[in-house]
Structure 1
C-alpha cells in the first residue's frame, strides 16, 4: 500500500494549452514535511519526455512528506497544444503550473526540478513570484 495519494487536474497556460497535471501528496495531511511544493519538469517533449518518467521521484518525495507536482508539457501525454522547437512555449507551461501551485496549494515556496530540456532557465520575473 502506498503512503501517498495522487490527484489529477488540468492547468491552462496563458496561451490556452491545457496541461495534464498530477499532484502527489502524503496520505496524511499531518505528515506534510514543509510548506514547500516540488514541481518536477520532464525532458523535452519532442524527444519523448513526459511526466510518467517522474512518477518514481514524485512518489518518493510524497512518501517523505512533500507535496509534489508533475505535468505533461504541451503536446505530451494528455496535454493539448504543440511542442516547440525552441522551448520558449514550454517555459509558459512551467510558469502556468507554478502559478497554479501558488494559487491552489497554499505554498509559500516552490522547488523547481528538471533535467535535460526540462531545466530551462526561466525569465527573471518568474523567480520573484
Structure 2
C-alpha cells in the first residue's frame, strides 16, 4: 500500500495517448494519460470508461453531440458508445476502466497500446 502523488506520476512521461497504469482495484485500473490532438473514433463493447480531467480541457465527440470537460470534471462513456476524444491543448486525464478494456476497442491504429506500463 502506497500513496500516489498525481503531479509526480505525470512528470514521469511526456508522450500523448499512451496511458500508464497507476493503480488497480476490484478488476478496475486507474490510468493517467496526457492527451493532445485528436484520438480516433472507437467504442468499448463491454466496458464503461471514465474520464476525469486533472489539467486542461477535453472534448469528447459523439455521433450526436459533443461533451466538454474542464478540470475537476468527469464523464462516464457507457459501454458500446462510439466516441472520439479531442484535446486542443495538452490535457492530463485520469481514466478508470476495467482491466479488460482494449485501448482502441476493436480499432487497430498507431495509437493502439494494449500493453500499458505500470508506473
TM-score (norm 1): 0.25
Higher strand share: 2
TM-score (norm 2): 0.26
